[in-house]
Amino acid sequence: DHISEEGHYWIGMDISPAMLDVAVEREVEGDLLLADVGHGIPFRPGMFDGCISISAVQWLCNADKKSHSPPKRLYRFFSTLYTALARGSRAVLQLYPENSEQLELITAQAMRAGFTGGMVVDYPNSAKAKKFFLCLFVGACGALPKGLGTEGAAGEETQQAKFTNERTRFRNAKGKSVKKSRDWILEKKERRRRQGKEVRADTKYTGRKRRPRF
């Protein structure tokens, strides 16, 4: 309603027919599309000036079918979204990641697709009101907004996590590197070197996942 009141034209997508039926009953002004965003955004390049998503992206981390690959579905979503957005536009995706691994997976695929931007957190010290917003930019990286409930210099550091083309590293709740990540592998190799064991030299390919073979 707010987008329509501001004079903008919009298109809504949802995987749930029941949710789309609610929109039809409310006689919304925008167009509606039944679609799974894990299959991609089916629009021509540069058609949109912005994108808003509410509590949807984290579901792409789940494999509801045997054919589902969360990294591939996330990359398909972000790469086609990047294409559909005009240069200089932005996307704000509100999500509820279950853990740091999901957060790393989502941000990594967004960066891989070409986005810049970062994570903004509202009320980071609250268990109920805490919300994550992935703010993405097409082209030059813009300024991230301030999260709610983060007054003071100390709060500003916790409510934003900016990323560029460099891969962002995340650690688990105990402060250790995520298992099987590049950091985890490098730390393990360094421990073995200190133990006097023979270890292969580190290269840019260390920790890189191999493509599946068919």
CA dist 91 and 8 (Å) reads 15
**CB-neighbour burial class of residue 136 (10 A; exposed 0-12, middle 13-18, buried 19+):** buried
Closest C-alpha among 80, 153, 71, 164 to residue 116: 164
pLDDT of 100 reads 86
CB 28 within 8 A of CB 12: yes
pLDDT of 179 reads 72
pLDDT of 83 reads 95
CA dist 126 and 140 (Å) reads 32
Range of the domain at 58: 2-138
Q: Is residue 187 part of a domain?
A: no
Q: Is residue 48 part of a domain?
A: yes
pLDDT of 152 reads 52
Q: Is residue 122 part of a domain?
A: yes
CA dist 48 and 69 (Å) reads 27
Q: Is residue 152 part of a domain?
A: no
Instruction: Tally the domains of the chain.
Output: 1
Q: Is residue 15 part of a domain?
A: yes
Q: Is residue 173 part of a domain?
A: no
Q: Summarize pLDDT for 92-125 with one digit per residue, the tens.
A: 999 998 888 889 999 999 999 999 998 999 988 8
Q: Is residue 171 part of a domain?
A: no
CB 37 within 8 A of CB 15: yes
CA dist 3 and 47 (Å) reads 17
Report the predicted TM-score, pTM, of the whole model to 2 decimal places.
Answer: 0.68
Positions of the chain with pLDDT lower than 70, given as ranges = 141, 151-178, 213-214
Q: Is residue 134 part of a domain?
A: yes
CATH of the domain at 97: 3.40.50.150
Look up tokens 């268990």; give the residue.
127
